[in-house]
Structure 1
């Protein structure tokens, strides 16, 4: 597992998860989890369904006891085996997948629900400020059923922010929205959290959402964190083959090591930015991303187009070079090739990502 910013002092972390193991009853779901989130950062738990993302989030919220390890918030333990600070005393806000709004309360009353300790005027001012922040001030007297999904999500966020939590947990908060609204709302939520300086952890299976919204991302598989890093490193410097295949688009091409930084393949000799310790002639698999392939009229490498997906400003092509070598390329849309057409291309893999073949 790779941990970004590992050299920073422990005191700089807002949230620390150390050797976390937990599950349901006698069943262990996640184990050996190590994460640390800086104050003001937005982190993400990213992975396929059933990998343990929501279990980690529930443990941070205080809904699950720990079998092993420790969770600290602001340097203070909030969960250890056999002892935990109750969820309502953790100063952690939660935004659920289904929003969990109170249908009989107005928007303003939903947001004010956690502000009973304030007097009436303080509560009114706080609610007004939050509704203006999430651009819902003109819907204060509406009930949730009258709102769109995106508006309900904003109400849920405002309600979670109202008690001024130290940390916000977002459990698949945009999954019920259409793709375009998901993109826009995720960026809006990021802006709101950054404006307030509030840290958050997002759970999602959508890597575009994770990369657009979050400062650091944990890729989770089978109850273990494979890599905890900034999005750029997850894409260009994956810690293992699973992360390489899960993050971004791309596929593996067979190759043979010529030296520490060069590999022979059907696509030619591929060179990159890193040195591997393999002996010469080691059989490897090289990850080829769509942005590693460039159109080159002078190239003698001419694979045939077998699929194409038009996306407006660009077109994603799938090429076949031989029975066992296929790869994708993303070209500007004015480069319009027909199915079956041979296209001159070359590999320009600035970041060499390869793994020994097993």
Structure 2
């Protein structure tokens, strides 16, 4: 796991050696990370990895058993002492939006401002509705809105009290794929415009990479790597991160020196040196974008699967019983099942691990 150098700037959010769970069951175990002002972080992982439990601890809904959570250098959670959620200046957008069905859009957004003077409240609500492009729907009710519009109302309501941090609990999971992509970018733009930090919980890698500056990959309640999306994809810290992030699969190989591997795809070289001895049995990660079509290549694996995706086609190739891999080609290159296609490996980032 990587954590930025804290000497660069004070952190907005610091999570130090955090452990928490339910009853005697520990779900989150010894987690440490930090988030800067204006940054968007993500808790990414498969179901049951502890990401929602961690979010509940950040929100103040769940006490912690070890470690501490600090917001603007102030402890908000310690073992035996938890600041109430309403005093944390943390906003939250839930998976089901949790809008009040009997209130209009404007009154939903202004709910957290009900103690302010009416004129101030009206002005703030108007500014937020304009920010989320719902100014023409102020007098509508939630049931009259689409899912994407309800999501925007929930975001505006969370932003209204001017929180220090926003927590997003899989806020796009009820939307179709196209709308998810558009809204995730819209929400990122809104948060960046306001300079508000956020933590997103999701199992969708594309969503995480599109929205977030830093991503934590979780497994079994522990952070496997906290890093920028580019490094998670190209420089994974361990085999789990390598297999979980992006597409791709492992093929067998044998180490030749510290920076090359002999495989059935030929000698694969990359950008990193390993410390294993010559001849070590390894598994090499091959991404679909590591393979290029090359009419002059002697390597001609057989097409065993193909998935057409409009602008591109994902192929699965077989070299032998032990070696299969995927390749993504533009769809104009139309190969058929059973066809032997000339390809070569062009892997700028060498990702390999000792044979399991």
Match of 1:103 in 2: 101
Specify the SS of the correspondent of 1:160.
Answer: helix
Written as runs of structure 1 = structure 2, the 5 A alignment for 1:236-275 is 236-275=234-273
Q: CA deviation at 1:284?
A: 0.2
- How far off its partner does 1:334 sit? 0.9
Return the match for 1:50 from 19, 44, 48.
48
In 1, Cα distance between equivalents of 2:31 and 2:140: 42
Which residue does 2:339 correspond to in 1? Answer: 341
Unaligned runs of 5+ in 1: none
CA distance in 1, matches of 2:5, 2:77: 24
Distance in 1 (CA, whole Å) between partners of 2:49 and 2:16 is 19
Question: What is the deviation of 1:8?
Answer: 3.5
SS at match of 2:278: coil
**May I ask how many residue pairs the two structures share in their alignment?**
356
CA-based RMSD of the aligned residues comes to 0.8
From 129, 132, 150, give the equivalent of 1:131. Answer: 129
Gaps of 5+ in 2: none
Alpha-carbon separation, structure 1, partners of 2:246 and 2:295 = 27
Q: Which residue of 2 aligns with 1:285?
A: 283
- Distance of 1:281 and 1:27 partners within structure 2: 43
Deviations 1:31-71 (CA, angstroms, capped at 9, x unpaired): 11001000000000000011100001110000110100000
Give the secondary-structure state (helix, strand or coil) at the position aligned to 2:256: strand
Pick from 209, 212, 224 the counterpart of residue 211 of structure 1.
209
Distance in structure 1 (CA, Å) of the matches to 2:7 and 2:88: 23
Task: Give the distance between the partners of 2:10 and 2:342, measured in 1 at CA.
Answer: 51
Task: Tell me which stretches of 4 or more aligned residues in structure 1 moved more than 3 Å.
Answer: none
Is the partner of 1:259 in helix, strand or coil? coil
Distance 2:274 2:119 in 1: 65
Query: For 1:152-231, what aligned pairs fall within 5 Å after superposition?
Result: 152-231=150-229
How many angstroms apart in 2 are the aligned matches of 1:13 and 1:231? 20
Q: Deviations over 1:89-108 (max 9, x none)?
A: 00000000000000000000
